[in-house]
Structures are given as structure tokens and as C-alpha cells.
Structure 1
Amino acid sequence: MSGADLDRLRRLFTERYEALRSLVARRLGGASPELAGDALHEAYIRLTDKNGLAGVRHPQSYLVNTAVHAAIDRLRGDGRLLGEAEVNAFFDVPDEAAGPEQTAQARHDLARMSRALEALPARQRDILIAARVHGVPRAELARRWGISVRLVGRELQTAHEACVRAMQDPKE
């Protein structure tokens, strides 16, 4: 940037600073004067790094537009950052991992279910596991066992009821 262009930019910046800051704030939808001032300073730095105002017909408009773009860039960047409250919220998340009591209860329930499955007749156990765990269709199970689809449904229902009873049995 030539000395004359830099002088022109400095003069515009110093003589019209308050008016420029108000224009930038208004263009940003009533943004804070601090944001508008920071944007103006960023615009000044950008313009001194480039060719400044050389060949610009309306330097004030150019400076204001540059400042508005600088503010928008800053707001976009700030939008990607988390605030202090948001960061603190990450540390306030309760630990939902199972504690010793929940782990013991889950092991007990698993053992009960395993005993309930072992108590089922082989065909009911196979139908229940194949249908519910592996998602095998009833028609396939009927072919596998050489029975009707309706009988597969009944065996499945009977197996479910036996497992529910075993899990609800307080003696277990």
C-alpha cells in the first residue's frame, strides 16, 4: 500500500470512527458497539495488508462493508465455540454406568433367564431363540421343524409365557 493510500485510510478511520462504528453496528442488526469496533479494527488490518483504498470510489462504504464481513466471519467462528456454561455441562453429566448393585442384579436376571430357557423343551427353545434373537421368519421355522406356521406361533407363545413366569417367580 502506498503512503498516500495508507494516510487516506488512517484519516477516514480516525476522523469518522464513531460514525463508522455506528454504521457497522446498524448493518449488523444492532450489534454491540464493541463488536462493531472490533470489526472496524479488523477491517483496518485487512485493508493495510492489501492495496487499501487504492482505486476505491467510495472509501467509507468500502470500509464499512469490509468491517461487516469481518464481523460476520468472527460471529461464524464464535458460533463453533462452546461457552463456559456449555463446557461445564459436559462435566456435570452423571455416570450412568452400572454400579455393583445393578451389575449383580443383571447377572442374577441373566442366570434366571438361562435356567428358564434350559427348562423349555428343545423345539420351543429353538423357536424362541431363532425367532427373537436371530429374526428367523415363522415360515422358515415351520419348514425347519416340519410343523405348521400356526403351531410355530403357539410354541413361541408358550415359550414366552414360560419365560415370563420364570422371571416373575419370587423363589428364583
Structure 2
Amino acid sequence: MRHGKKINHLGRKTAHRKSMLANMACSLIEHKRINTTLAKAKALKQFVEPMITKSKDDTTHNRRIVFSRLRQKEAVTELFRDVASKVGDRPGGYTRIIKLGNRLGDNAEMAMIELVDYNELYNASKPEKKSTRRSRRGGGKSTTAAPVATETKAAESKSETKASNEEE
């Protein structure tokens, strides 16, 4: 039984797994997008999102915590300088995983993981929503114009009937 075993070991020992995730996180911060297997992308998402949350509050303590996990000074400075300013108002969900299909060699599921705020294709073309709402109660037609039109039609039909009666 696997009660309480939430971490994906990725077929590696602990030290190897932590080093691999640290290297992948540094690559993600540097390049803003990387291609990897789906299992590694999901593990990387769990690894990197708490560090991005810590980078929003630039304190020495948070820098030391992030540096102890990333182990690259350049990645830490870029995370706290560039990435934190870009995701400052976002409450979470800093990464996006897009499935790419299967790898030719071993048929492994491939995925692209990227930082959400750095993709201009998805963020640039969001149309503004209309603030007005339409109701189902005949909002398109004016309610006062309809009775006037029926009254004029009724008056015309009465005058036509009187004219036809006078002719006879």
C-alpha cells in the first residue's frame, strides 16, 4: 500500500532527484520554457512554484531558502529580480504544462513547462469582456413602440373599412 507517499521518485535516488530538479528549475528560470517528460514536468511544477511564491517577498531569509534548493546564484538573482516583478499580482499558478505527444525513442509522454506570464501568445490577445448583460425579457425592442404601432394599424384598418362601406 502507498499511504501518504505523494512524491514521484522518478526512478532516482534522493540526491540525484534533488539535483536534477534544481538543474531543471534553473533552466526554467533562465529560458522561461523547457521540454521534458510529463512526469518530470509535474515534479518540477511542485518544486518550483513554492520558490516563485517566496521570491515575491524579497528578504534575505527567502533568498537563502531558495538558494539552498536551486544552488545557482544567477538563477536566484534572476528569479528575485525579473520573475518576481512579473508575477507580483498573481496569487498562484505560475507555470503551465502543455502536452506535446510521445517521444520517438521510448514512447515517453513529452511536455513543455513554461512560466505563464512570459508567453505573449496567450496573454496578448485577450479581448475585453462587455460589462453589460443581456436579459431574456425583450431587451432589444422598446416596449412603448409596439402598442403605438398596433394602434395606428388598427386606426388604418377602421378607416379603410369605413371608406369601403361608404363606397357601397
State the TM-score, normalizing by the size of structure 2.
0.32
* Higher normalized helix content (fraction of residues): 1
Higher relative contact order, chain-length normalized (CA < 8 Å, sep 6+): 2
TM value normalised by structure 1: 0.31
Higher-Rg member (1/2): 1
